[in-house]
Amino acid sequence: MEPYLPMLAQTPLFASLTQEELPHMLSCLQARHKKFEARQFILHETDSTEDLGVVLHGQVQIITEDAFGNRSITAKLGPGELFGQVAASKLAPSSPVSVMTDSESEILLLKFNKLVTPCTRACSFHSRVIENMMNVLAERNLMMNRKLSILSQRTMREKLLTYLVWQSHDKGSTTFSIPFNRDELADYLCVNRSALSREISKMIEEGIISSERNHFTLYDHSPL
In a shared domain, residues 123 and 108: yes
CATH code for position 26: 2.60.120.10
Which residue range forms the structural domain that includes residue 139?
2-150
In a shared domain, residues 176 and 207: yes
In a shared domain, residues 137 and 62: yes
Higher pLDDT, 48 or 117: 48
Higher pLDDT, 116 or 210: 210
Structural domain ending residue among the three candidates 90, 119, 150: 150
In a shared domain, residues 214 and 186: yes
pLDDT at 224 over 80: no
Q: How confident is the model at residue 223 (pLDDT cuts 50, 70, 90)?
A: low
Run of H or E including 109: strand 105-111
Given this model, what pLDDT does residue 2 score? 82
Counted residue by residue, the chain has a size of 224
Mean pLDDT for the stretch of residues 179-200? 95
CATH code for position 177: 1.10.10.10
* Residues 140-165 pLDDT 10s: 888 889 999 999 999 999 999 999 99
In a shared domain, residues 140 and 42: yes
Mean pLDDT for the stretch of residues 79-94? 85
Is 54 buried (19+), middle (13-18) or exposed (0-12) by CB count in 10 A? buried
Given this model, what pLDDT does residue 57 score? 96
Domain total of the chain: 2
In a shared domain, residues 138 and 162: no
Pairing outcome for strands 41-43 and 98-101: antiparallel
Structural domain ending residue among the three candidates 130, 150, 170: 150
CA 46 – CA 165 distance, rounded (Å) = 34
Q: How confident is the model at residue 41 (pLDDT cuts 50, 70, 90)?
A: very high
Given this model, what pLDDT does residue 66 score? 79
Residues of the chain with pLDDT > 70, as a percent, come to: 95
Structural domain ending residue among the three candidates 150, 168, 188: 150
Q: Which residues pair with 32 in a beta bridge?
A: 109
Rounded to 5 degrees, φ, ψ at 175 are -115, 125
> In this structure, is the dihedral angle defined by the CA atoms of residues 44, 162, 179 and 34, taken in order, positive or negative?
negative
